[in-house]
Amino acid sequence: MKNKELFVSIVVPTKDRPDYLHRAIKSILNQTYKNWECIVIDDNSKIPATKSIGDLINNDKRFTLIRNKKSEFASKSRNIGIHKSKGELIAFLDDDDYWDKNKLSEQLEFMIKNNFEVTYCWTNLIDSDNNLKIREPNISGNIFDLMLDGQPLCNCSTFIVSKEALMKVGYFNTLLKRGNDGDLIRKLSAKYQIGLLKKRLVFYQINSRGTNISTNNKIGIKRSLKSYKYRLYFFKKDLINRPLKYANINLEIARCYAKLNMLKMSLKYFLKALKVFTIYFNKTFYKIIRVFILIIFIIFRKSKNNLKLIFNSSNK
């Protein structure tokens, strides 16, 4: 990462959240770092983005608005933005989130100083009643193992990634309508060190009103299920040497099937996980017992030697 004024492309997918989008765009306009472009991908919203943010951007040539002819969901919408981008770095902002005014300037300075291709920052969580919580995962560097069975980092709006890194891992997976940001981060973490800027520079909206690109109902559970199964397939070789990660993913699949009342399938994946946990427990248990016996033997031998010394000294 060269120390110069880098051009950043900001990719904003949006779907039927005009008020939140208005807030997100305002936070981009307020950035202290000015060398950027913003690509808004309207995923066929009922109220076109041109109407909901037209008063903000006017004839600002830094903005490009693209409207999908049909709903393509988050992954494809973000990929459209990435392919349209001209920047060396890509920053993501979901339409219901917004940034601190120093988000770009401070995170870019951190990236350049530490020569990172991928970075994220901490975030503030906002619920529908505007209550604030914080999310500060202290996870960075080589985090691939941690990403295999979960997504312990902050969301996509906290990330800035070099376009070259995105090209190498193949962008967002368009087959996934849920967990697509975690999947991308997982693929990036397999190739790159992940940098963490320990500052809360993003405001992440939870429990958003209106239509989400990823829903939390029965459809959302099915999408989660697909995401976990994809993980088992795509990272099959990596999971061979990580049995507990493999078991945890199977447990999550079992949980999804249980929520869908598909008990036969739930039991199938639960037993797969249980088998691994049983084998792992047996190996660990026997290892613990062997070490415990060794410790007891050493203690006994030392005690016996001490008794001999005491006995011999008393006979002199």
Last residue of a domain, one of 205, 224, 259: 205
Question: 81 and 201, same structural domain?
Answer: yes
Q: Is residue 226 part of a domain?
A: no
| DSSP classification of residue 193 | P
Both structure tokens of 288: 């613990």
Is pLDDT of 127 > 90?
Answer: no
Q: List Cα–Cα distances, 158 to 121, 137, 198, in angstroms.
A: 5, 12, 11
Q: Say which residues have a Cβ less than 8 Å from residue 35's Cβ, sequence separation at least 6.
A: 5, 6, 7, 8
Q: Is residue 235 part of a domain?
A: no
What domain range includes position 295? 242-316
Q: Is residue 211 part of a domain?
A: no
Q: Is residue 180 part of a domain?
A: yes
Question: 149 and 57, same structural domain?
Answer: yes
Q: List Cα–Cα distances, 261 to 252, 253, 264, 304, 305, in angstroms.
A: 14, 12, 9, 62, 64
Beta carbons of 251 and 270 less than 8 angstroms apart: yes
pLDDT classification of 1: cutoffs 50, 70, 90: low
The closest of 148, 214, 141 to 183, measured between CA atoms, is: 148
Question: 266 and 165, same structural domain?
Answer: no
What average pLDDT does the chain have? Answer: 89
What are φ and ψ of residue 142, in 5° steps?
Answer: -85, 95
Question: 262 and 129, same structural domain?
Answer: no
Question: 88 and 165, same structural domain?
Answer: yes
Question: 258 and 145, same structural domain?
Answer: no
Coil vs helix vs strand at 216: coil
Last residue of a domain, one of 189, 205, 221: 205
What are φ and ψ of residue 92, in 5° steps?
Answer: -110, 140
CA atoms within 13 A on the CB side of 263: 0
Is pLDDT of 197 > 90?
Answer: yes
Question: 263 and 196, same structural domain?
Answer: no
pLDDT classification of 210: cutoffs 50, 70, 90: very low
Last residue of a domain, one of 157, 176, 205: 205
Question: 140 and 15, same structural domain?
Answer: yes
Residue range 23-81, pLDDT digits in tens: 999 999 999 999 999 999 999 999 999 999 999 998 899 999 999 999 999 999 999 99
Question: 193 and 48, same structural domain?
Answer: yes
> What is the pLDDT at residue 290?
75
Q: Is residue 31 part of a domain?
A: yes
Q: What angle do CA 215, 221, 224 make, to 5 degrees?
A: 95
> What is the pLDDT at residue 141?
96
Q: Is residue 230 part of a domain?
A: no
For the chain, how many structural domains are there in total?
Answer: 2
Q: Is residue 21 part of a domain?
A: yes
Q: Is residue 231 part of a domain?
A: no
Question: 110 and 41, same structural domain?
Answer: yes
Question: 283 and 150, same structural domain?
Answer: no
Q: 27-41, 213-227, 249-263, 289-303: which has the highest mean pLDDT?
A: 27-41
Residue range 220-250, pLDDT digits in tens: 899 889 999 999 999 999 999 999 999 999 9
Question: 171 and 24, same structural domain?
Answer: yes
Count the residues in the chain: 316
